Structure 1
């Protein structure tokens, strides 16, 4: 059975978060169409242990310590290495990724960036050799959708100047080997003319379209 990894990055509970609410709608819709093919695993980054990166647990660019060096670490640092390896294995095992997060400071919550920093491990997620680096996630068909909520509405002509998180994740996941990337925006949650409920209603069609697209991909593999 395939796996969908659902990652959320918001300090708010789901019923108070537009991004998490849209994410849950996506998950429920997707599973209703793929319940015989997919299982869901959830990772709430604000309620999970995401280790702080430090020089003691790496021996080079993205290379986690192992062997004798690992054995010489403090128990605290060993737990960090073990946790990072577990996060990498969880990420590698997925076929579809759904990330739900708000726009913070024209980007994403720092916890989400910290998570990506953790899993960018050499010989697992990426391969670093000399001056070159390549992603290792092109071994199978993988899908990714980034669901982002924001308080305002930004004209499409200016979206590249404001939606830095979407551009960043598109570039990162393409580098890793995931070419099937979609984004879903919940816009205008803080505006008097739209508000959260209307913004969620406005994005429902996008949710349905992406679910249909990903479900078609699933049925052909």
Structure 2
């Protein structure tokens, strides 16, 4: 049995969000294929995702502990505790599905804020200050990730690698961290008259059916 962490990145309710709609289709299909697996859901607009604050970090990827933690205010301690909770939840998972819209050829900033929280030294990465080297620690088991991205425009295939900064960034960062299996579902043309929302969702559903048994 595996644990799947489903992360959504949109302030809209599911019925108004194309990325969340496709994400739910994926999750429902996943339940059919893997009924014994555990699914945890994290809505980044509903959850408490702390902002990076120098008071709670001893370095960029290390949060305070011990005596330094004891000196914090109750609010700051709560932020540290939440970061640890988010990081531990991420590490528990074997599979990840992230559903987000394309905003300004990237993804919403809340996802970057979340990544900045969970990428912690000695948990997700190892910072070797002696040899001036940073390495990912997520290769400890076979983890898999699928990124679902919706966009209003119909992006031509030949410029997709240039325009899709979000998927490219996530592929690169998670590969570095140790996740070797990364796939994407691009729900393009939601607001394009030649495609439209319904057809874009149908195309994505076909992609989901094709990849499910391998996820």
Mapping of residues 1-221 of structure 1, within 5 Å: 1-36=1-36, 38-130=37-129, 131-214=132-215
- RMSD of aligned Cα (Å): 0.8
Deviation at 1:61, TM superposition (A): 3.2
- SS of the aligned residue for 2:138 comes to coil
Structure 1 gaps, min length 5: 215-221
The answer (yes or no) to whether the contact 1:61–1:128 under 8 Å persists in 2 is no
Aligned residue-pair number = 213
- SS of the aligned residue for 1:47 comes to coil
Deviation at 1:203, TM superposition (A): 1.4
What is the TM-score with the length of structure 2 in the denominator? 0.97
Runs of 4+ off more than 2 Å: none
Structure 2 gaps, min length 5: none
Deviation at 1:12, TM superposition (A): 0.8
- Separation in structure 2 between the aligned mates of residue 165 and residue 158 of structure 1, nearest angstrom: 14
What is the TM-score with the length of structure 1 in the denominator? 0.94
Deviation at 1:160, TM superposition (A): 1.6
